[in-house]
Structure 1
Amino acid sequence: MKRRIVMSMFAGATLLATSLLGASPAQSAGVPVQSPGAPAQLADEGVRSAEVPAEFGTDWHDPITAAPPLTKPSGKSCQVTVAEAQFRDFTPYRGTYTPPEGCGDRWSKVVLRMDGKVKGRQYDRLGYLHIGGVEVFRTSTPEPSPDGIEWSVEKDVTRYGDTLRRDQDVEMLIGNVVNDTYTGIIDVKVTLTFYAGRPATTPDRVLTLQDGTLTTPRNSERIVAEVYATGSGGGCEEFWYLSAPDPAPYSCKAADGPYREVQIKVDGRLAGIAAPFPHVWTGGWSNPFLWYVTPGPRAFDVKPIEYDLTPFAGLLNDGRPHRVEVSVVGVPEGQSGWSAPVNVLVWQDAKSAHVTGGLTEHRVGDLANASTYTPGSEHRVDTEGGHRLTVAGYVDTSHGRVTTTVRRSLANGSAHRWTDGENLDALDARWTDDQSVTVDGRGPARTTRTQRTYTMDGSIAIGAGDRLRTVLTLGDRASVVTTEGGRRTAWSWLDDTVEGDAAWTLNVPRDQRHAVGTTSERYRSYGSGGCYDRSLTSVQGVLTEDRDRC
């Protein structure tokens, strides 16, 4: 069975355009799980004892993640409904947004909340929300039970305050197909809650590209681009990390192999590089039974890649439009599958009409990308890739000259193994994305170093009786350290790991799949801001563990 058939989640649907609220191996693989009738493991917070069925039934626990809930200020708040729609096709919801009354126009925090529900049968789908043309939210959906599920996602959108202070057009889309087979209509409501109080420090302007160009205010002193990059749409770029070069006999081909890099250019000059996050949506790796209760990292809250473009501010501040392009290295020519909308956040110098400056350093390392195919009873592709970029520039502001230096280094290594027919398909991959940003002006120089690591280690095997088993571990890790004058002033460390093992029978009616599966997530974060550590486990859709460790 070919991977492109088994693994496809969106069934050819194309995307047109936080935190979610409230593993042991699978039994079929020959390793025991909790037997029906045995008491479920109790969480520290008191998950009630529940019987774990022998296999998945027609209903299961609503989707939940171990990610921390958003903290919210006390005091006065105001709420606005931004969108309320039922998505059954590829028709966007369009409406209008009006700022709230009674909470001022400068807020301490703004929280977006999406509540969703769906029942029946449906693929996972990608969605976006635009307010005033700004992409403020990107998400994917869980796959429903026949009896129906409900879920909620919250996201801090305070940074988009400039957009939210004015009446705006709203567009939202979760592309969907509803017919006699795929019956699930996706019903969502999105609200914004505005918290009064001491205003948060936010960008002065939030801009979007106009015909691929950007015109910044002439007094911009800091510029950051954010790109919501996702490989999606049901084709091979949905699983870009598995693509193989010729002459490897694999169903998803890319001449340069699986290395991908999201680049941003200003007037044709490379301005930023980044490793894309290897999203696994909730039908991914041939096995929706892994994700019914707990999705993979970032599946419901797609985080944007951030690029500090401040070294280019002196060039951008001439009042003219400048071409800004985003591209993905490694995508086969003419092949679609990536979406990468861009927002640009700008901080202005209130005491200057025109901030001048210049680019002082621009060093682009050689892009390393080598995939080696080794034939055999198990075919194998080993990939090593990486890239480096250093950019520096200055701006002359009302408070003196400020120099910003951005250094970024990417690396990717993977080993992909499969047998003829792809009845065994396995990947062990690691991506690192290290960045340091040094700002040197009045006072001691401040450096923020961010080290990101993404991991994927899993396999799919189709055995006797068309029994498909998926074993997968996903990791999303980051450490951030800020120093001033060489002294550490803040730090944080994050590790979000999801492990799953699930099996089901192919090519039979749904009631004969005899699906079983265990999924666990542990989300840990420590640092100068405190401690958070939560673990979840579900077996056959029953939540058996919900434990806080801090």
Structure 2
Amino acid sequence: MTRRIIMSMLTGAILLASTLLGANPAQAAGVPAQAADIPAEFGTDWHDPVTAAPPVTSPDTKSCEVTVAEAQFRDFTPYRGTYSPPKECGVRWSKVVLRLDGKVKGRQYDRLGYLHVGGVEIFRTSTPQPSPDGIEWSVEKDITRYSPTLRSAQPVEMLIGNVVDNTYTGIIDVKVTLTFYTAEKRTAGVHTPPADTPDRILTLTDGTTLTTPRNTERIIAEVYATGSGGGCEEYWYLTVPGSAPYSCQAENGPYREVQIKVDGQLAGIAAPFPTVWTGGWSNPFLWYVVPGPRAFDIKPIEYDLTPFAGLLNDGRPHRVEVSVVGLPEGRPGWSTPVNVLVWQDDKRDRVTGGLTVHRVGDLANSSNFTPGSQHRVDTEGAHRLTVAGYVDTSHGRVTTTVSRSLTNSSVHRWTDGETTDALDATWTDSETITVDGRGPAKTTRAHRTYTMDGTTTLGAADRLRTVLTLGDRATVVETRGGHRTTWSRLDDTYTGDATYTINVPRDQRHAVGTTSERYRLYGSSGCHDHSLQTVQGVLTEDRHRC
């Protein structure tokens, strides 16, 4: 039994096409179960999906709710509709919150989905796998940054690609609403200002061409990069060089890097987050209640392209391309839609500037295969990029410098037949952005670390066991003139241990499993520390420490 057969988390599902506070599925109802309530093994139903991530906070102001999509997904036919902004809440909002409520029952794989408003991707998600009796879940996301698009009527497109037949019976039923919070006063003397948002949200014409307004002074590109689609790129972190006897091979091994280029020049690099979907690591029993980090709210990679603003502001179309380093030529499996957020200088018709620094380090990527009774691939990867540029604005010259460095280190071990398959991997993505203009220079330093440490073992009587720990960590510090102004520290850790019998009907799997998540977010804005634990699909701990 190879991983190609065992793993099934998104088979057949092809995706067509933010802030630190991410997804917030509905919190557990009632009191966590006592020991006497825990079954000996998984039954036909389990607790609805939950996550320890913090809820999206909302201001104490007037609000309006709009339903943007309501659909049942049975196949790969997108839902199409029309969005109109709420008349009662104006067009200047302090916050906009998206909420997805979903339900599904029967048997179904996990599926990927997206939501576009006016061609802008505002949400990307995946789904939980259902129980025969049915589950419900919800996700919230702060989408205030997309306010420029939401201020006028727009076409809507949503898809959660699905397959329903005699075997896979789960119809995915979802409703998506947007809640708009105004800047109206609720308390005498207290005013919630409108959010500081971009002036425009652009998408790439024909997928590769960008024309910015000629008075653009700041540019952020965001890329919703996901490896998916039922093939080996769902498990890109497990691929091995072609010389190694393994079911998922890639010429240069598992190193992946998401790059963005402007007119052929490398403009940004990033480490993709190693998302594990809710059928991942051969074992859906790991994810029935607590999903892996980011699985329900797939965060975009952000690139600060402001150093290139002087080049892009000439009124001509420019080529912007996203590619994935390490992806074998001709292999599908990555989707990389791009939004471009633009801030304009309203006191000038034209902002000029130039690129002053473009320093690209050598890409280090080595994967060494060592054969044996337990085969081994050791991978080391690293890359650096520094770019700087200036714009001459109505408030003076502003210089932006962006430095980013990536590393990846992993050890992959497996036996013949892949009856034992293990990975211990770490990715780091460090970025420093300095904006120097009128007043003290502002510097934002972000250090992100992603970890994965797991083993799948297929033992006697076809009993498959997976033990896995995932980590999503980040430290962000902002300084002005060398003095710290804001900071945050995130540590989202998932652990799971689940065993079941493969190659038998569902009611003969005799599955057992424990999972837990602890989500800690500390900083100048406050504290969130939330722990969840489950046994055999029953929620046994739901604890807040802050």
1:270 is the counterpart of 2:285 = no
SS at match of 1:109: strand
Task: Give the match's secondary structure for 2:145.
Answer: helix
Instruction: Give the equivalent residue in structure 1 for 2:92.
Output: 106
How far 1:19 sits from its partner (Å)?
1.9
Amino acid at match of 2:170: G
Q: Does structure 1 residue 47 correspond to structure 2 residue 43?
A: no
CA separation in 2, counterparts of 1:52 and 1:433? 41
1:26 maps to: none
Match of 1:338 in 2: 334
Q: 1:489 offset after TM fit, Å?
A: 0.9
Verify: 1:78 aligned to 2:64, yes or no: yes
Q: Which runs of 5+ in 1 are unaligned?
A: 23-42
Q: Does 1:243 align with 2:239?
A: yes
Is 1:8–1:235's contact at 8 Å kept on the other side of the alignment? Answer: no
Partner amino acid for 2:23? Answer: S
Q: In 2, Cα distance between the equivalents of 1:286 and 1:48?
A: 27
Does the aligned pair in 2 maintain the 1:20–1:151 contact within 8 Å? no
What is the one-letter code of the residue matched to 1:94?
R
Q: Does the aligned pair in 1 maintain the 2:374–2:413 contact within 8 Å?
A: yes
Q: Deviations over 1:76-120 (max 9, x none)?
A: 111110000000000000000011111010100000000000000
- The question of 1:531 aligning with 2:527 is answered yes
CA offsets 1:261-307 (integer angstroms, 9 cap, x no match): 00000000000000000000000000000000000000000000000
Partner of 1:403: 399
SS at match of 2:89: coil
- 2:419 corresponds in structure 1 to 423
Read off the aligned partner of 2:32 and give its amino acid letter. Answer: V
Higher relative CO (Cα under 8 Å, sequence separation at least 6) belongs to 1
* Per-residue deviation, 1:20: 2.2
Amino acid of the structure 1 residue aligned with 2:472 = D
* TM-score, normalised with respect to structure 1: 0.95
CA distance in 2: counterparts of 1:492 and 1:118, whole angstroms: 36
Map of 1:207 onto structure 2 = 202
Letter in 2 for 1:71: T
Per the alignment, residue 435 of structure 2 pairs with 439
Distance 1:333 1:444 in 2: 47
Amino acid across the alignment from 1:5:
I
Q: Confirm or deny: 8 A CA contact 2:24 2:56 kept in the other structure.
A: no
1:329 to 2:314 alignment: no
- Given that 1:371 and 1:381 are in contact with CA atoms closer than 8 Å, whether structure 2 keeps it comes out as yes
Alignment of 1:503-518 (within 5 A): 503-518=499-514
Q: Percent identity at matched positions?
A: 79
Q: Distance in 1 between matches of 2:342 and 2:145?
A: 10
Q: Which residue of 2 aligns with 1:122?
A: 108
* TM-score using structure 2 length: 0.96
CA contact (8 A) 1:10 1:123 kept: yes
Alignment partners' CA distance in 2, 1:346 and 1:496: 31
Query: What amino acid maps onto 2:148 in structure 1?
Result: D
Give distance in 2, aligned partners of 1:468 and 1:47.
28
Give, as a single letter, the amino acid of the residue that structure 2 aligns with 1:47. P
SS at match of 1:265: strand
Q: How does 1:315-394 map to 2 (within 5 A)?
A: 315-394=311-390
Q: Tell me if structure 1 keeps the 8 A contact 2:33–2:539.
A: no
Q: Matches of 1:165 and 1:13 in 2, distance apart? A: 33
CA distance in 1, matches of 2:234, 2:33: 38
Q: CA deviation at 1:14?
A: 1.1
The amino acid across from 1:218 in the alignment is R
8 A contact 1:519–1:538 mirrored in 2: yes
Matched AA of 1:87: F
For 2:85 and 2:245, how far apart are their aligned partners in 1?
Answer: 56
Q: What is the count of residue pairs matched by the alignment? A: 530
Cα distance between partner residues in 2 of 1:108 and 1:236 = 42
After superposing on structure 2, the runs of 4+ consecutive aligned residues of structure 1 that deviate more than 6 Å are none
For 1:502, the aligned partner's letter is A
2:169 matches 1:183: yes
The CA distance in 1 between the partners of 2:541 and 2:437, in whole Å, is 50
**Shift of the alpha carbon at 1:358?**
0.1
Q: Aligned match of 1:19 in 11, 16, 23?
A: 23
Which residue identity is paired with 2:174? V
Q: Distance in 2 between matches of 1:420 and 1:455?
A: 26
